[in-house]
Structure 1
Amino acid sequence: MKPIHPDALALARNAEGLYLNAYLCPAGVPTIGYGHTAGVKMGQRITASQAENFLLEDMAAAAAQVDKLVKVPLTDRQRGALASFVFNLGAGALGSSTLLRRLNQRDYAGAAAEFPKWVYATVNGVKTQLPGLVKRRAAEVKLFEKG
């Protein structure tokens, strides 16, 4: 399996933050470590090493989805930016996006311009722009464009 670019891992660490105790994310999902959600139970506690392992597994799974969806060549940084996007939003979001459509048409600049549109989450039933998502999408664009 192809490794994840270190800049993409750093981006995800920075965007997610490290939480060794389970918490509810803004969408109400039990989360731990660097944004890990699979099988997390409230009250759970992990070590920093476990958090790092979860991140590597989660980003590898996200990158595998990117590899399935993207039909054009990617640099390691572009793949990493997209893996961060999928890790945060899910493969379904990328799969149905204008971002992916433009990318697969080899419109790399057009694809990069789509990242900033993905900055909303439903909080208490209201579509809300989250500052953390604005910052994350900007970092993903920067990584993607570094290519």
Structure 2
Amino acid sequence: MRVSQQGLALIKEHEGLRMDAYLCPAKIWTIGYGHTGGVQRGQRITAGEAERLLLADLQRFEQAVNLGVKVPLTQGQFDALASFAFNVGVGAFRQSTLLRLLNHGDYQGAAKQFDRWVYGGGQVLPGLVNRRADERALFEEAGHAE
């Protein structure tokens, strides 16, 4: 599966567009829509470059969801999981209880796991609370694909 326009919009909304490199809360140089590869202080990009970087980055997270999930998914579920993986990273996604529950067919239990991934630097971050609520809502939107 691939991320839909709805999923892409969710990621863009929560990542935000930054044309100038900045240090994210994890102290990693970031630019565009959450792009971190090879970013340097003082770097500047265009909106078109940010879009291209996002689409290129997204392929890795789509692959992680496609390879990691062993149960049927709706498009909304796939989009929610791709957004989640994009934010937490492939390794954290692969090791998550969310994925383990989902692969055991516990869609409801997996959906509840989104609410646990709201911490940054040991504290609850409002932006992550909002993102996880949106991801969970998208995940639960149309039931599941069984």
Q: Give the C-alpha shift of residue 146 in structure 1.
A: 1.5
Residue 60 of structure 1 corresponds to 59
Determine helix, strand or coil for the equivalent of 1:20. strand
Task: Write the distance in 2 (CA, Å) between the matches of 1:57 and 1:143.
Answer: 23
Residue 6 of structure 2 corresponds to 7
Instruction: Give TM-score, length-normalised by structure 1.
Output: 0.93
Task: Write the distance in 2 (CA, Å) between the matches of 1:30 and 1:46.
Answer: 13
Task: Write the distance in 1 (CA, Å) between the matches of 2:57 and 2:87.
Answer: 10
Identity %: 55
1:73 and 2:72 correspond: yes
Q: What does 1:22-37 align with in structure 2 at a 5 Å threshold?
A: 22-37=21-36
1:138 and 2:133 correspond: yes
Q: Give the C-alpha shift of residue 100 in structure 1.
A: 0.7
> Quick check: 1:119–1:133 contact (8 Å CA) kept in 2?
yes
Task: Write the distance in 1 (CA, Å) between the matches of 2:57 and 2:124.
Answer: 24
In structure 1, the gaps of 5 or more residues are none
Deviation by residue 1:81-103 (Cα, 9 ceiling, x = unmatched): 10111110011111111111110
The residue type paired with residue 81 of structure 1 is A
Q: Give the C-alpha shift of residue 140 in structure 1.
A: 0.4
> Quick check: 1:7–1:143 contact (8 Å CA) kept in 2?
no
Task: Write the distance in 2 (CA, Å) between the matches of 1:128 and 1:22.
Answer: 24
In structure 2, the gaps of 5 or more residues are none
Task: Write the distance in 2 (CA, Å) between the matches of 1:19 and 1:67.
Answer: 29
Q: Give the C-alpha shift of residue 3 in structure 1.
A: 2.9
1:89 and 2:88 correspond: yes
Q: Give the C-alpha shift of residue 107 in structure 1.
A: 0.9
Determine helix, strand or coil for the equivalent of 2:138. helix
Determine helix, strand or coil for the equivalent of 2:120. strand
Task: Write the distance in 2 (CA, Å) between the matches of 1:26 and 1:109.
Answer: 30
Structure 1 consecutive aligned stretches of length 4 or more whose deviation exceeds 4 Å = none
Task: Write the distance in 2 (CA, Å) between the matches of 1:7 and 1:43.
Answer: 32
